Amino acid sequence: MNQTKDVQPIRDKKQLDDMKWALKRHCSERDYILFVLGCETGLRVGDLLKLTKKQIVELKSKREKIMRVKEGKTQKQRDVYIGGCYDEVYAYASQLDSDWLFPSRKGDKAISPTQAYRQLNKAADFAGVESVGNHTLRKTFGYWFYKATKDIAMLQGILNHSHPSITLRYIGITEEEKNNVLKTFSVFN
């Protein structure tokens, strides 16, 4: 199992749907919610795995869909909006017996990043999606956010990157845009 391979964002809506289907059908609701929440928020898998049932359920009483998360890598506080998938995540969280949002079947703890990787790759194999890893969720968020807004500065801030070029490279935009331009470029046209 090579976890350091060059993972990519999922750039195709059908592949996103195929991943969701494969996670529900061949993995579990837990793994499906992890994928959806990761793609909708851009949080790192390590930060997602630290989330608790209480954090999600409390949002309902506050009537807001923004939660504050301390990112593990940067140690920075970040407000995360989960409105797009809140109802689905809330329904899942409400029925959990665990304090963890992504509980392990082995004791009272969350699943490990390695287990998350295994489940994502299991679904990717069924869905025919290549280059999937734990960063795929965050990169997918970044890719679709950029495609929708073209606001690299805002995305850079959301992802806590130090420079826009890092953000573009992270979500695979520079290579994709270069290839698209080269496909249509000709000196003689």
At CB < 8 A and 24+ separation, what contacts does 6-9 make? 6/131, 7/131, 7/132, 7/133, 7/134, 7/135, 7/136, 7/139, 8/130, 8/131, 8/132, 8/136, 8/139, 8/172, 9/136, 9/139, 9/140, 9/142, 9/143, 9/144, 9/171, 9/172
Interatomic CA distance for residues 38 and 22, integer angstroms: 16
Q: Which sequence positions are flagged as catalytic?
A: 44, 73, 135, 138, 161, 170
